[in-house]
Amino acid sequence: MCANSPSTIQNPKSAFTLVELLVVITIIGILIALLLPAVQSAREAARRVQCQNNLKQISLACLAHEEQLGFFPCGGWGYQWQGDPDRGFELRQPGGWIFNISPWLEQQALRDIGAGETDAQKMQSRILLQMTPLSMFNCPSRRRPILYPFVYDGPAGTVIKRNMDAPNTKWSARGDYAINCGSQYYVEVPPAGQPTTLAQGDSPTFPWPNLSNPTGGTYPYHTGISFQRSRIRVAQITDGLSNIFLAGERYLMPDNYNTGIDGADNSNMMTGYENDNHRCTAELPMQDTPGYYTTPISYFGSAHAGGLHMSFCDGSVHWISYTISATVFKILGHRHDGTTIDAKAY
């Protein structure tokens, strides 16, 4: 019997050729390129939802303030001043609308920082107030709720004074939302329209600008919801709560998101009436644009493409296109001009 001969059949190892590998890599690259915009779009959609929710909570807090106290949050005294926990919510309160609605945002402890302290002690405790970020006040499409450089050389008052030759040695929390101060072109009052001491502000003889005078004056009539020493009641919004802006996103040049040197973003959230936290509807809103510094610095706007979120005095939040009519946008900032706007117009 013969022994079995070894098999001569071979099983060569299978392998990709270089061409096949390159084809696979190319296909994967194409798929990633097609998928990336969709992922980015989904992320931006999620950020927009978060931004809308932020503004909703802020607006509900404003309404809760009005329901309990009888008026929408006061704009405070001016950019020279921050909130004082011992001075209530009305004309004696130098702090602005964000400071005033903080208890209705579950931030009572923040508002109470420095309560019962002397004026000298409060100059220090205002630092802690200034350096407390609140996530609901930052649009996730623009910037994070962290501290940003505070390089502003502020005047006297309870806003922290910094020396411009030592920049970036202090920090400040900043917000991305502003309340509607009206359809006029003017936002802020200069130092002459603000007291430099608490005693001056409390004096019945201090010459406060009359921003609520429709017949004219040194400063234009303010037609919005919150401004210097305002106490706007629901009854004063005769065009209807669903027809008037309450608050919205504010324009900021992207170059200055993180610098603290923008004239409309150089302070902090807890100051009184200023363009950091108030905007008007005299100009159309616009998307944040590199290199475009607005003059006057009072625009609403956002980091979103296509439009921005604005809330109305009934608490609703709507998406407003940048292509909205200038006339319609201006009317929506005026609380009693006698004109109502159909929602289809925006």
Confidence of residue 5 (pLDDT cuts 50, 70, 90): low
Distance of CA 249 to the CA centre of its chain: 5
Confidence of residue 14 (pLDDT cuts 50, 70, 90): low
Average pLDDT over residues 255-261: 91
Give the Cα separation of 181 and 333 in Å (integer).
8
- Percent of the chain, pLDDT > 90? 62
Name, in order, each residue with C-beta under 8 angstroms of 282's C-beta and a sequence gap of 6 or more.
183, 184, 185, 298, 330, 333
Between these two residues, 266 and 232, which has the higher pLDDT value?
232
Give the pLDDT confidence score for residue 4 in this predicted structure.
Answer: 55
Between these two residues, 168 and 139, which has the higher pLDDT value?
139
Confidence of residue 261 (pLDDT cuts 50, 70, 90): confident
Give the Cα separation of 18 and 318 in Å (integer).
55
Q: What is the pLDDT of residues 62-108, one digit of tens each?
A: 999 999 999 999 999 998 899 999 999 999 999 999 999 999 999 99
Whether residue 296 has a cis bond before it, omega within 30° of 0: yes
Confidence of residue 168 (pLDDT cuts 50, 70, 90): very low
**DSSP per residue, 265-281:** SSS-TTBSSSTTTEEES
Give the pLDDT confidence score for residue 242 in this predicted structure.
Answer: 94
Q: Where are the alpha helices (DSSP H) in the chain?
A: 18-69, 97-101, 108-111, 119-130, 198-202, 326-331
Give the Cα separation of 141 and 90 in Å (integer).
34
Q: What is the pTM of this model?
A: 0.86
Give the pLDDT confidence score for residue 39 in this predicted structure.
Answer: 66
Confidence of residue 207 (pLDDT cuts 50, 70, 90): very high
Average pLDDT over residues 296-318: 93
**Span of 3-12, 316-325, 326-335 with lowest mean pLDDT:** 3-12
Give the pLDDT confidence score for residue 158 in this predicted structure.
Answer: 43
Give the Cα separation of 81 and 287 in Å (integer).
30
69-91 in b/e burial notation, b at 16+ Cβ within 10 A? bebbbbbbbbbbbbbbbeeebeb
Give the pLDDT confidence score for residue 199 in this predicted structure.
Answer: 92
Between these two residues, 297 and 17, which has the higher pLDDT value?
17
- Percent of the chain, pLDDT > 70? 88
Give the pLDDT confidence score for residue 6 in this predicted structure.
Answer: 55
| Mean per-residue pLDDT over the chain, rounded | 87
Average pLDDT over residues 27-37: 77
